[in-house]
């Protein structure tokens, strides 16, 4: 038990998580966590289960946890030795042999030519090779530049919207692409993930696909850890598509994705912010505040003026409510008035209503895709939107919570329960298609 307690403390410290954050998300009193980490008292079975869910780890995984200092350091040393060995071997192979001569410190090969060789050809050949090499480099450069220009200019893209997900979770739920022949790196499916508890330890799931296949939405009220700013800066440096966090006024700019000839924009707004110092300012990284109607109206109008189609992603609503409140409905009307073409809300742990405000689809909440506090067996959704030069199809995929994340393999009885839930939530009639794995 001592090893388990010690490893729990190590995990918390390595992830840069405060005791207050654990208390906020688990309900375990801070004093109980402090005493537990110091070995003064044990947690109850219920508290222990909440802690395991919070870390998204099993009891055995915590027991076998190794901190960076013990494991990664050895791995890095081993990798460095391999690199040095390779460099030494390479240099030894490049040393001049007996048929080499040195002129002014430059090593050149001495080649014996036969009497039948044309000397002029010998002189011209290096020049020909150099010109050909330059032409090849120029062609490759042009191809690469063209590929980069066309990278986001695709004929058809599927934007996949997830519910809130813990950043440091081991993996995202597995969902089948619409085309079963598509591989995991299908460049026409873009995962839009609203993340919570952003910290400096990048999770494995972030490396499972290329950078351009993610849009990370950090505009959630529960984004903060002691290392959130550091992690944000690192993700920006690595060229991840990141929105919802930054300095003003840039944080209110839409992220733009080119689809066919259309500019599709994504604007993240935070309707819930815990502390005043978490709001974005010119000199401070923070969240894009969405409180005052006239301010929000202007923000959305400005974003819409820069794109052809605008998705607004907003963090709002009460945590445990399964229906949108009046504030959410009023904000949805403001967003539509400003020019929002599609609204995807999150924050509540439960899936909420699907409706239209005018001609704008509004998903008030999808539920959570990865969380330590969702009820086992509850149902939540992932939203997929096919887009060409216009919106083509809207699909919902239903999953059941299993060990803190969604499982999309449902039994016939579970599908019936989801169909009933969808019927209660869906006010958009036949505009939304419900799918199962």
Note the pLDDT tens digit of each residue in 76-87.
455 555 555 555
pTM of the model: 0.68
Question: What pLDDT band is residue 245 in, cutting at 50, 70 and 90?
Answer: very high
What pLDDT is attached to residue 107?
33
**What pLDDT, on the 0 to 100 scale, is given for residue 76?**
46
* Model confidence at 154: pLDDT above 80: no
Average pLDDT over residues 83-102: 51
The pLDDT of residue 335: 98
What is the reported pLDDT for 117? Answer: 42
Residue predicted with more confidence, 421 or 191: 191
- Residue-level pLDDT at 354: 94
List, for residues 303-314, the tens digit of each pLDDT value.
999 999 999 999
Q: Is the pLDDT of residue 184 over 50?
A: no
Q: Which tens digit of pLDDT belongs to each residue from 316-350?
A: 999 889 899 999 999 999 999 999 999 999 999 88
End-to-end CA distance of the chain: 41
- Mean pLDDT for all residues in the chain: 80
Q: What is the pLDDT of residue 278?
A: 96
pLDDT in tens, 248-302: 999 999 999 999 889 999 999 999 999 999 999 999 999 999 999 999 999 999 9
Contacts of 170 (CB under 8 A, 6+ apart): 56, 57, 203, 204, 205
- Full set of structural domains in the chain with CATH: 1-92 (1.10.260.40), 157-435 (3.60.21)
pLDDT above 70 (res 386): yes
């Amino acid at each position: 038990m001592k090893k388990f307690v010690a490893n729990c403390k190590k995990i918390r410290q390595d992830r840069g998580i405060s005791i207050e954050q654990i208390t906020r998300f688990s309900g375990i009193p801070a004093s109980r966590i402090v005493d537990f980490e110091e070995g003064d008292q044990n947690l109850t079975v219920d508290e222990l289960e909440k802690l395991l869910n919070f870390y998204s780890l099993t009891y055995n995984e915590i027991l076998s946890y190794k901190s960076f200092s013990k494991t990664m350091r050895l791995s890095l040393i081993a990798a460095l030795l391999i690199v040095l060995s390779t460099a030494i071997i390479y240099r030894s192979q490049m040393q001049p042999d007996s048929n080499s001569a040195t002129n002014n410190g430059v090593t050149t090969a001495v080649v014996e030519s036969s009497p039948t060789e044309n000397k002029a050809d010998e002189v011209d050949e290096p020049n020909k090779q150099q010109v050909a090499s330059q032409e090849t480099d120029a062609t490759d450069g042009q191809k690469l530049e063209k590929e980069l220009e066309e990278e986001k200019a695709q004929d058809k893209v599927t934007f996949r919207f997830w519910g809130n997900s813990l950043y440091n979770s081991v993996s995202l739920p597995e969902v089948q692409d619409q085309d079963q022949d598509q591989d995991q790196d299908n460049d026409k499916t873009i995962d839009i993930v609203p993340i919570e508890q952003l910290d400096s330890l990048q999770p494995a799931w972030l490396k499972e696909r290329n950078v351009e296949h993610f849009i990370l939405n950090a505009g959630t009220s529960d984004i903060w850890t002691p290392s959130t700013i550091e992690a944000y800066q690192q993700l920006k440096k690595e060229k991840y598509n990141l929105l919802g966090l930054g300095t003003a006024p840039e944080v209110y700019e839409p992220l733009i994705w080119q689809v066919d000839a259309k500019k599709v924009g994504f604007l993240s707004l935070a309707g819930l912010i815990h502390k005043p110092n978490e709001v974005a300012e010119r000199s401070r990284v923070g969240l894009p505040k969405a409180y005052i109607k006239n301010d929000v109206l202007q923000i959305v109008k400005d974003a819409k003026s820069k794109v052809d189609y605008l998705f607004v992603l907003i963090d709002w609503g009460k945590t445990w409510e399964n229906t949108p409140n009046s504030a959410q409905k009023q904000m949805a009307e403001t967003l539509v008035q400003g020019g929002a073409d599609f609204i995807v809300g999150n924050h509540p742990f439960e899936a909420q209503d699907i409706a239209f405000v005018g001609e704008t689809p509004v998903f008030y909440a999808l539920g959570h895709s990865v969380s330590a506090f969702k009820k086992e067996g509850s149902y939540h959704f992932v939203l997929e939107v096919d887009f060409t030069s216009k919106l083509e199809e809207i699909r919902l995929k239903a999953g059941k919570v299993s060990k803190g994340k969604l499982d999309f393999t449902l039994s016939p009885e579970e599908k019936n329960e989801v169909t009933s839930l969808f019927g209660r939530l869906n006010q958009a009639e036949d505009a939304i298609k419900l799918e199962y794995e």
